[in-house]
Amino acid sequence: MPLVLNTKNLSWEWKFFADFHRDELYKVLKFRQEIFVVEQKSWYLDADGLDQNSLHLLVTNKENLIGYLRLTPPGKKYIEASIGRVSIHSEYRGERLGDQLLTMGIEKGKEVYDSSSFRISAQEYLISYYENHGFKVQGSPYDEDGIPHVQMLLDE
pLDDT, tens digit (0-9, with 9 covering 90-100), for 58-100: 999 988 999 999 999 999 999 999 999 999 999 999 889 999 9
CATH topology of domain 9-155: Aminopeptidase (3.40.630)
Predicted pLDDT at 115: 85
Separation CA 105–CA 114 (nearest Å): 13
Separation CA 32–CA 40 (nearest Å): 11
List, in order, residues 6 or more apart from 90 with CB less than 8 Å away: 35, 39
Entry pTM: 0.90
Are the CB atoms for 106 and 154 separated by under 8 Å? yes
Sign, CA torsion 113/116/121/124: positive
Predicted pLDDT at 103: 96
Strand order in 10-16's β-sheet? 10-16, 55-61, 64-72, 81-88, 117-123, 147-155, 136-144
Mean pLDDT by 10 residues, the chain (156 residues): 64 97 95 87 83 97 95 97 96 92 97 94 96 97 91 94
